[in-house]
Structure 1
Amino acid sequence: MNHSLRGNLRIRLTVAFSVIFGLAAAAVLAGSMILVRNSMEYSLNLVYQEKYSSPGFGDKEAVLDQLPRDEVTQQQIIDSMQLNLIAKGGMTVLVVWIVATASGWFLAGRLLRPLSRITLTAQRIAGRTLHRRIALDMPPGEVKSLADSFDSMLDRLDEAFAGQGRFIANAAHELKTPIALNRTLVEVAMNRPGSPVEVRNLGENLLAVNQRHERLIDALLTLARADDQVTERRPVDVAELAASALRGTAALAAEHAITVTADLRPAATTGDAILLEQLIRNLVDNAVRYNVPSGRVGVTTFTGPRFVEITVTNTGAEIGAHEVPVLFEPFRRLVDRVGSARGHGLGLSIVRAVAQAHSGDAVAAPNPGGGLSVRVTLPIRW
């Protein structure tokens, strides 16, 4: 029996009910046989005693001659009764045992139904749907207390995640205003007639820093939005989104002299088109930025048996397999040998957050000789 069957509580309870009933029925049958044997022996002894003690039975020699034959007959009667009891009693026990086992299966299912509901809710919550609740409608008891405690925990978690998302969004929006004001002031100072060359150089550096901060804020907004469950899902073709993302990063690839190849096969799924395009754009942007001079980037999309897949590969510095998990953690970057100091450490975090918000996932693996392959899987649209 495999591990899933051994771990099935309903099966275990049914087996326990069946074994307990089987042992109890066997004990009752064995006790009944002992009682019947004793009763038959007692009754037959009384019958023979009355028979031999009757006045007209005969002399003592005839009684002694008849006793062995009567004992054989008595034993035959007892053995016949026992065989009959074993056959018919055993069949009765077997039928009742089957009925009891089926009843135990049904009863275990009824008893475990609330736990199955709790498990189903937990699985849905694992799919990033914190707004769901068990709301178990049953009399007070251990299972009711467990479900209510679980709902209370979900309320606190939902409030915590919602508060975190609101904080990030509000902070990002509040930071956009002064950054936009700084950009305007720098541009005015740079374009003022008679501005010295030093001021223009300083202005260009400040605008570059300002642009990096704007990208960081946009990334924070995208990450906060991706952490929420996608409520509006519409049919989209990932291949079309990838083509649009490639057009948006063409200038960046040309700037870094990166050759981009694409094999975009139809890959239909459902979700938020803006978030999914941002996912692909982040993948391509990372693949271009963290590459070697005159390197290569490959983008493929296709439909598998159960999922649609987006794969982005690039050339670059060698990355150890133990370093890959760090790439998906927010604000975590590798050493500057892969150029990560130029980024803000949110690119692949956003990719995984968007994929998981769409009931998918993102994984990465180092390429032989250098570079990285990132594969995103999303549910197929039937």
Structure 2
Amino acid sequence: MRLTLLYGVLFVVSGAVLLAITYLLVTHASSNVIVGREGGDVSRLTGAPGGGPSLGLTDHSQLNLDDGMRTLREHAYRQHQEGLQNLLVQAGIALAIMAVLSIALGWLIAGRVLRPLRTMTGTIRRISARNVHERLAVVGPADELKDLADTVDGLLGRLEAALDSHRRFVANAAHELRTPLTLEHALVEESLMDRDATVESYRANLERLLAISEQQARLLESLLTLSSSERGLDRREPVDLADVAEQAAGVQRPDVARRRLDLRISAAPAPIAGDAALVQRLVANLVDNAVGYNVRGGHVEISTGTRGRHAVVTVANTGPEVPPDQVERLFEPFQRLGRTADEGHHGLGLSIVRTIAVAHDALLTARARPGGGLVVEVAFLVRTDAAVHVLTKV
């Protein structure tokens, strides 16, 4: 309706302007003709000096001729006014008729223009979580409507990918939580059904239940960290990656000694501004992943430092061979190449690393090492005193 009114108003305004221009042109042209006749020199007919050949008219005849010319001029003027009035009336009637026709045509044109939008709107309304795979798939010339449809299709594609990732995450999380619960139930049931159970067997089962409970607590803590880091940063504070790396390496010393790994650390100052707890979890997860997914007698290398405008932490480790095309998949939740590590690893470590890096606007790169293992590098923006001052005030 609004488009139809817009088309109609534009047509009426354009027609009125055209009518006014035509009226002015006709008025100006007719006035020139009349003025030319009134200013004509009649002395050429009377034989006055300089007037050309004389017709031999008397004074009485000259007077009659002047009266006749005046009558003709008055008659021409009246015809001119009547013609202009008739032109104005007829043009107004034609404009009114065409205004009605323009409204009808505007309604048809507006419907034709809006038909693709109605089709897209109806399709979008039908799309839900169950059929998010459907697309508008508009065909036609590369105009604004086609661009809009392609943009909506791209949005639906990203939404489908996000929903699929969410479904996989929920399914994997449910599986990871259900497995220890099933094992706990089996241990309790075994203890109750064993009539010959001793104190030692009860103690062994309770120790296994305690270990399973600790694994569940770590899994829930990892899920909470993943969820909180996806919300972004609430605050920033000065953090030195060198201190964080040394602390993470110290925590892993017992596992390093048990696995007979060679741990090397090169900690150069690397100041950043970020959430200290999340940065510590990021580095701890990298080191824990490097130690847990390693081979006996392998090595782990941790280095920190600055490179241009970035503070970089790099963790490299030996371990099982990782296909280069599978490196990106390892950063998805609950994705592991195999259960080569302890059962305490649930496949969330690297996904938490990626989420924390995104929250800090850091660059995360990973590549497979020749012969096995990974090299993971996270580059944060270097902290400056001015930035720290502003962040502290905020």
TM-score between both structures, scaled by the size of structure 2: 0.48
TM-score between both structures, scaled by the size of structure 1: 0.49
Which has more radius of gyration? 2
